[in-house]
Amino acid sequence: MTRRAGGAVNRRAGGAVTRRAGGAVNRRAADVRSPESTEVPDTEIAWDDVVDVICVGPDPGPVAHAISGVHRDRRVLVVARPDTWDADTAGYIAEMTAELPTPPPGPPVAITRARVIDDPIARGRPIDAPAVRGRPIDTFEGSRLRDWAAQCWASHLGVLYTDVVDETLVHTDESRCFEGVVIGTYSPDCALEEWLAVQARADGVGPDPDVTWRRAIVEYGRVAGVELDTASGPMLVRTLDGVALPTAPGGGDPAPQPDLPDGAGAVAIVGRPAGRFGRVQLLFPR
């Protein structure tokens, strides 16, 4: 199901739903312009639909990324996780995770004290901090990036992106920067997974039962979209900003409720600059 806050809903090829403020988004690739850019990556494929991001759920990490996209008025397609990945997707996952170290044991739900600018609890508002982009990643930072990737990959709250995701920055207690977007205020009366499920239902974020994943489509060296199986046959959906893939499988009991710091907390999807891994965390003000 593709969602964009507040607008018309159209069905195409018997399955996928596209939402966009003020009208339909079902346009050919040559007519599409990303809201952030006037340029469109080259394509030679006749796509049936175009979205900003594709999220593979209902796992917590991709669902949180989908919620953040809906809150920012982006076109989001949520597809159910297949039982078996196609060759291209499996190959990408293997390449990204082959050399990751085994992370040390940690809490199932990460809690971070972060110094932020502006109100981090405001719904859908990005977290702001001084930008540090445009600089090379040195060896030490590269090592920390691998450690971060390993933590995310081992977490059932993690997410793996096919494109580098640039969000806004936050300073942590360790004077390190991570990127993040707050998706809501945390309610401590339920587990984080349950909170995400409730938020997803409220935002209309969830896989369309009439649409199933067939394969990722690689064009010019990147995952450019996906092929879906629908009641009317195959459907090709292009993504301008990549695919959000799940990490460690969930499906079991929710993680134990952590001991929470005092003060209002926020649920955020976070990552490291120049990284392709992220996870859901709880943020509390420093």
Average pLDDT, the chain: 75
31: CB partners within 8 A, 6+ apart: none
Residue 192: per-residue pLDDT: 87
Of 136 and 63, the one with more pLDDT: 63
Residue 152: per-residue pLDDT: 92
Asked whether the predicted pLDDT for residue 14 surpasses 50, the reply is: no
Share of the chain above pLDDT 90, in %: 40
pTM of the model: 0.76
Residue 119: per-residue pLDDT: 41
Query: Which of 29-33, 92-96, 109-113, 247-251 has the weakest average pLDDT?
Result: 29-33
What tokens appear for 236 in the block? 């090709």
Of 78 and 165, the one with more pLDDT: 78
Burial 113-148 (b: 16+ CB within 10 A, else e): ebebeeebbeebbbbebeeeeeeeeeeeeeeebeeb
Confidence class for position 116, pLDDT limits 50, 70, 90 = low
Among 15, 43, 16, CA closest to 31: 43
Asked whether the predicted pLDDT for residue 188 surpasses 80, the reply is: no
Q: What's the number of domains the chain is made of?
A: 1
75: CB partners within 8 A, 6+ apart: 2, 3, 4, 18, 19, 20, 25, 50, 51, 52, 53, 69
Residue 4: per-residue pLDDT: 46
How many angstroms separate the CA atoms of 61 and 105, rounded?
19
Query: Position of tokens 């945390």?
Result: 186
Asked whether the predicted pLDDT for residue 259 surpasses 90, the reply is: no
Query: Which of 51-60, 83-92, 116-125, 255-264 has the weakest average pLDDT?
Result: 116-125
Average pLDDT (262-279) is 84
What tokens appear for 196 in the block? 């995400």
Distance (Å) of CA 154 to CA 101, 105, 273: 10, 10, 19
Residue 141: per-residue pLDDT: 62
Asked whether the predicted pLDDT for residue 140 surpasses 80, the reply is: no
pLDDT tens digits, 149-163: 999 999 989 999 999
Asked whether the predicted pLDDT for residue 38 surpasses 80, the reply is: no
How many angstroms separate the CA atoms of 205 and 269, rounded?
15
Confidence class for position 283, pLDDT limits 50, 70, 90 = confident
pLDDT tens digits, 70-103: 999 999 999 999 999 999 999 999 999 998 988 7
Average pLDDT (15-37) is 34
Residue 175: per-residue pLDDT: 61
Residue span of the structural domain in which 263 resides: 2-248+256-285
Asked whether the predicted pLDDT for residue 238 surpasses 90, the reply is: yes
> Which region holds residue 233: left if phi is over 0, alpha if psi is between -120 and 50, else beta?
left
What tokens appear for 107 in the block? 């809490």
Asked whether the predicted pLDDT for residue 6 surpasses 60, the reply is: no
